[in-house]
Amino acid sequence: MSVSGSESALWRGRSVPSFRETAASNTRGVVPTRDEIAVELAVARARTAVVPALTTYDLRAYYGSTEILHGVNLAFPYRQVTAIIGPSGCGKSTLLRCLNRMHELTPGASVKGRVLLGNQDIYAPDVDPVALRRKIGMVFQRPNPFPTMSIFDNVAAALRWHRVVRRHELADRVEQALRMAALWDEVKDRLHENALGLSGGQQQRLCIARALAIEPEILLMDEPASALDPISTGHIEELIVQLRSRYTVLIVTHNMQQAARISDYTAFMLMGELIEFSPTATLFTNPSDSRTEAYVTGRFG
């Protein structure tokens, strides 16, 4: 924890917002070739020693014929927390849902452009979206534990279905996931009670444990604390900061203080476009776009 913390502090001190440049160099809206991507990735690595976990190129999302995202170019750094902020309806959640191919499940919805996980385009025709979603977990706005299952089964379900662990290891893995979600101590004595008996905040941490149990590479969080009270929100925020050492976390939030508290990078979106992407401290204290400044200082939105 302290290592990555000082690392990002160091990073901010250098004031080389190279990810923004990487993304900005691509705003012409042309989909680059594999080689170009490889070169850019190499450049990004060399500059920052931070690797992008997910990169989007000219990502466009549609509901029917309405374009929701107008070509987003963005590189989400590996094992860092990236916050996505912006007013309601700006496409934050849609962007998130494009990254694990959940967007296309809505009837009439479609996606154009490229999203690279490492160096693999997740929208390539031979990519199995089901396999992809194992690598890119998601936590939703409202806690949605499986109502017919116990606390234990909620976490164990995906492990069983994916057959990732042997039966005798199952309990260990469930405990591990619940500990990681900072829920173990609260539920260890009632693992076999129904999950709906938990409070809203606990249910949300259960959902996080459920997502972590199958060890994804990336965790997408769509306003995970917006339906919770301040104390539960505090728990979730602490948790996210800790998750950074093992996961790449992308979090959509309406709460700018929250973004400032927990994220390393922040992306600001407006009406389906990415306006600015910077290290969080830079975005909030020295934004390069006047619209970002207006938003973070509360002058609109």
Chain residues binding another protein by CB under 8 A are 100, 102, 105, 107, 130-135, 137-138, 140, 142, 144-150, 153, 157-158, 161-162, 192-194, 197, 207, 210-211, 214
Question: Based on CB atoms, which residue is closest to another protein, 37 or 99?
Answer: 99
Question: Based on CB atoms, which residue is closest to another protein, 115 or 270?
Answer: 115
CA dist., res. 76 & res. 16, Å (int): 16
Q: How far is the CB of 176 from another protein (least distance, A)?
A: 17
Is the Cβ–Cβ distance between 62 and 276 less than 8 Å? no
Q: How far is the CB of 185 from another protein (least distance, A)?
A: 21
B/e letters for 91-100, b = 16+ CB within 10 Å, e = fewer, are bbbbbbbbbb
Beta strands in 18-159 (DSSP E): 52-63, 66-77, 81-85, 109-117, 120-121, 136-139
Question: Based on CB atoms, which residue is closest to another protein, 107 or 298?
Answer: 107
Alpha carbon of 276 to those of 35, 71, 84: distances in Å? 26, 14, 10
Q: How far is the CB of 196 from another protein (least distance, A)?
A: 9
How many separate helices (H) and strands (E) can be counted in the chain? Answer: 13, 10
Q: How far is the CB of 219 from another protein (least distance, A)?
A: 10
Q: Enter the tokens of residue 291.
A: 């619209």
Q: How far is the CB of 138 from another protein (least distance, A)?
A: 4
Question: Based on CB atoms, which residue is closest to another protein, 26 or 100?
Answer: 100
Question: Based on CB atoms, which residue is closest to another protein, 101 or 235?
Answer: 101
DSSP state letter for 87: S
30: CB partners within 8 A, 6+ apart? 58
Q: How far is the CB of 31 from another protein (least distance, A)?
A: 27
Beta bridge partners of 162: none
Question: Based on CB atoms, which residue is closest to another protein, 31 or 170?
Answer: 170
Is the Cβ–Cβ distance between 80 and 11 less than 8 Å? no
Q: Read out DSSP for 131-151?
A: HHHHHEEEE-SS----TTSBH
Question: Based on CB atoms, which residue is closest to another protein, 125 or 147?
Answer: 147
Q: How far is the CB of 192 from another protein (least distance, A)?
A: 8
State the angle between helix axes of 200-213 and 167-180 in degrees (0 to 180), rounded to the nearest 10.
Answer: 130
Q: How far is the CB of 179 from another protein (least distance, A)?
A: 19
Q: What is the torsional sign of CA 226, 231, 233, 236?
A: negative
Question: Based on CB atoms, which residue is closest to another protein, 49 or 105?
Answer: 105
Dihedrals φ, ψ of 194, to 5°? -65, 140
Residue bearing tokens 């990336």: 218
